[in-house]
């Protein structure tokens, strides 16, 4: 059975189970050990067939946990489509997730990667998440702090990797007095073009969607998994040295000692935007994205990723990290 994935890589599973309830999950865990957990099939590159049983997490449902005059707590089941969930919150007038619109994948995988875009990350809006221990079959609630969030990191990629399957995530969203983040990227410019001076959360989301649609390919049209590389965080000293050679290098200060540099700019400056080898390549509009033009294998895409990383390290002395999970 083919494994659904946004890279459109033809990889197969011997066993593919649809998990649509906690009861189904518990029964599957009693029968199969050490499963391969599949969400929306995004943020992953399959370089081989999967011999482990594949659990496709499809739990659905959104419920209100509690509410005050200013905030609402919504619990979304892990199988809910992330972008559709974001749109749902905006339709209700809630704020918090607008900068994270049009990110492919499902709700359950968002804490694992601590997904982020345009200055906002899951850690900024997540209250807690529920997860089943695959060994003990016990449910645990992880608080925001217990998730040990970092830049595209969490406890689920660290010491608890492979130990839990997330079943639901609870978000704390605003009902009024929304704190909008519009200074990152081209959001302000997009709002100005639309003549919006006092944006709502929905306005910000529409701006983000417009920007992402211009820059990022739709997986339904061309196989990809969004940003393939993490934006590197380097020391201020290293950045100053680079800035002397590349005065136009964009950057985002993290603190007094660290600076984040866009990986896409590094790749583009190496002349790799549009680089292609067979059906695997770097996207023509966004160098941060690797694509499958048709029949590329996962290994062929990975070979392009390694080539890009080597070229960036050679020119800038920076070793890019993969954001996409490689299997």
Q: Which residues are catalytic?
A: 152, 227, 323
Cα–Cα distance, 69 to 98 (Å, whole number): 20
H-assigned helices in the chain: 22-31, 82-91, 110-113, 187-193, 201-215, 236-245, 263-269, 298-316
47: closest CA among 306, 249, 303? 303
Torsion of CA 234, 237, 242, 245, to 10 degrees: 180
Q: How far apart are CA 2 and CA 8, in angstroms?
A: 10
| Cα distance between residue 50 and residue 52, in whole Å | 6
Cα 47 from Cα 6, distance rounded (Å): 14
Return the number of other C-beta atoms located less than 10 Å from residue 257's C-beta. 10
State the Cα–Cα distance between residues 248 and 235, nearest whole angstrom: 18
């Amino acid at each position: 059975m083919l494994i659904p994935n946004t890279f459109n890589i033809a990889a197969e599973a011997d066993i593919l189970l649809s998990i649509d309830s906690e009861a189904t999950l518990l029964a599957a865990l009693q029968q199969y050990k050490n499963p391969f957990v599949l969400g929306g099939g995004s943020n992953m590159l399959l370089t081989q067939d999967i011999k482990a049983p594949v659990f496709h997490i499809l739990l659905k449902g959104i419920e209100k946990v509690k509410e005050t005059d200013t905030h609402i707590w919504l619990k979304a089941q892990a199988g809910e489509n992330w972008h559709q969930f974001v749109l749902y919150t905006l339709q209700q007038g809630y704020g918090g997730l607008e900068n994270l619109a049009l990110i492919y994948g499902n709700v359950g995988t968002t804490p694992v990667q601590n997904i982020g875009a345009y200055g906002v990350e899951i850690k900024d809006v997540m209250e807690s998440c529920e997860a089943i221990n695959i060994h003990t079959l016990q449910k645990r609630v992880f608080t925001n702090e217990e998730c040990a969030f970092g830049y595209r990191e969490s406890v689920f990629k660290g010491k608890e990797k492979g130990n839990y399957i997330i079943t639901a995530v609870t978000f704390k969203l605003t009902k009024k007095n929304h704190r909008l983040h519009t200074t990152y990227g081209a959001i302000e410019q997009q709002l100005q073009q639309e003549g919006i001076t006092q944006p709502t959360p929905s306005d910000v989301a529409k701006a983000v969607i417009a920007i992402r649609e211009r820059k990022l390919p739709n997986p339904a049209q061309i196989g990809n998994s969004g940003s393939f590389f993490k934006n590197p965080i380097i020391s201020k000293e290293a950045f100053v040295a680079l800035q002397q050679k590349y005065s136009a290098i964009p950057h985002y200060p993290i603190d007094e000692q660290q600076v984040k540099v866009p990986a896409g700019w590094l790749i583009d400056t190496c002349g790799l935007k549009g680089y292609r080898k067979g059906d695997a390549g770097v996207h023509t509009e966004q160098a941060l994205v690797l694509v499958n033009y048709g029949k590329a294998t996962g290994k062929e895409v990975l070979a392009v990723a390694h080539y890009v990383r080597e070229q960036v390290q050679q020119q800038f002395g920076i070793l890019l990290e993969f954001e996409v999970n490689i299997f």
